[in-house]
């Protein structure tokens, strides 16, 4: 029996998961990813909370605090961004500075976890989930720097890396659709917008109930369809821009090669055209006219 399509996770983040009644869904995903039970205390103001032209941007983010008073940024990104890693670094830094009150000591710096659900290829790597932390290793002894007992009491943390921001990169398109554990069941849903009947991951049963497209009103369904159309349109625009950019780069390189060959004066226009794949007419226009 075919599985019924559900609302995409990014749309759910924009419209449904901000409701306390649906915290269980987001808590389930975070619990499976972080491998600990997560309880959401509140949804904080973030860029995508406002209803404005940014709704059409190909990015959705949600900022929450958990029971440990950690700040969690959950972001869904579709468009290719070559400087994406720097942007999430900026994002965590911004959250830290925004939530450190005036005259508070640095020991009050918020713990930030950046969770990024990506539908484009970022960097080179075979896995579909990457976790980044900060550590300090000795140059000579190769030992890891540890927190002192006093620091552990001050920060309420056992490990040094726990006081620094952490990053999760979920490269959805790298997932092979074979769910080997409960976290994989969530990744399957993120990729396919389906939840199989035998899935047991935390939050998925609630997601199956609440994210059913058939539960949307006619107005909500139309808005969701427009949103999906916007995503397809933006993806096409990005792909077209990328293709045009590559073509312009190739043309520029071919013109430069042609100019160099013309300067050498060892080949005729036909031979240069064959090498550069430019037309003979284009080559002839580049050849300086001889003075009588």
Burial string for 128-165 (b: 16+ CB within 10 Å, else e) reads bebeeeeeeeeeeeeeeeebeeeeeeebebeebbbbbb
In a 3-state reduction of DSSP, which class is residue 182?
Answer: helix
**What's residue 53's pLDDT?**
40
Number of Cβ within a 10 Å radius of residue 12: 21
Report, as an integer, the average pLDDT of 16-29. Answer: 93
Distance between CA atoms of residues 227 and 51, nearest Å: 13
Contacts of residue 51, Cβ cutoff 8 Å, sequence gap at least 6: none
Distance between CA atoms of residues 158 and 149, nearest Å: 9
Distance between CA atoms of residues 252 and 77, nearest Å: 32
pLDDT digits (tens, 9 = 90+) for 174-218: 999 999 999 999 999 999 999 999 999 999 999 999 998 878 888
- Dihedral sign for Cα 177, 180, 186, 189, please: positive
Residue with tokens 């409960």: 182
Name the band, by pLDDT with cuts 50, 70 and 90, for residue 39: very high
Distance between CA atoms of residues 231 and 227, nearest Å: 6
Residue 249 scores a pLDDT above 80: no
* Alpha helices (runs of H) in 147-217, residue ranges in sequence order: 149-155, 182-192, 204-210
3-state secondary structure 69-119: CCEEEEEEECCCCCCHHHHHHHHHHHHHHHCCCCCCCHHHCCCEEEEEEEC
Average the pLDDT over each of 6-10, 92-96, 118-122, 259-263 and give the range with the smallest value.
259-263
Backbone phi and psi for residue 234, each to the nearest 5 degrees, phi listed first: -65, -40
Report, as an integer, the average pLDDT of 223-245. Answer: 65
Name the band, by pLDDT with cuts 50, 70 and 90, for residue 165: very high
- Backbone φ/ψ region at 242: left (φ over 0), alpha (ψ -120 to 50), beta: alpha
Select the more confidently predicted residue: 240 or 226: 226
Kindly report the pTM of this predicted structure: 0.76
């Amino acid at each position: 029996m075919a599985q019924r399509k559900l609302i995409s996770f990014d749309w759910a983040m924009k419209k449904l998961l901000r409701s306390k009644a649906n915290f269980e869904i987001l808590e389930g995903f975070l619990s499976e990813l972080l491998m600990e039970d997560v309880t959401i205390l509140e949804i904080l103001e973030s860029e995508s909370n406002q209803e404005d032209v940014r709704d059409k941007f190909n990015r959705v983010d949600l900022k929450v605090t958990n029971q440990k008073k950690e700040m969690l940024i959950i972001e869904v990104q579709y468009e290719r961004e070559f400087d994406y890693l720097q942007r999430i670094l900026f994002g965590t830094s911004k959250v830290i500075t925004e939530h450190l009150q005036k005259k508070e000591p640095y020991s009050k710096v918020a713990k930030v976890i950046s969770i990024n659900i990506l539908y484009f290829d970022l960097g080179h790597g075979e896995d579909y989930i990457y976790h980044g932390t900060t550590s300090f290793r000795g140059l000579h002894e190769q030992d890891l720097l540890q927190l002192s007992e006093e620091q552990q009491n001050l920060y309420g943390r056992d490990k040094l890396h726990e006081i620094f921001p952490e990053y999760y990169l979920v490269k959805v398109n790298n997932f092979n659709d074979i769910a080997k554990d409960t976290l994989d069941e969530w990744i399957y849903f993120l990729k396919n917008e389906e939840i199989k009947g035998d899935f047991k991951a935390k939050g998925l049963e609630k997601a199956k109930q609440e994210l059913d497209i058939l539960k949307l009103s006619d107005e909500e369904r139309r808005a969701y369809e427009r949103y999906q159309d916007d995503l397809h349109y933006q993806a096409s625009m990005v792909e077209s821009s990328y293709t045009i950019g590559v073509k312009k780069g190739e043309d520029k390189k071919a013109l430069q090669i042609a100019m160099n060959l013309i300067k050498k004066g060892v080949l005729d226009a036909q031979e240069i055209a064959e090498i550069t794949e430019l037309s003979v007419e284009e080559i002839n226009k580049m050849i300086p006219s001889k003075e009588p």
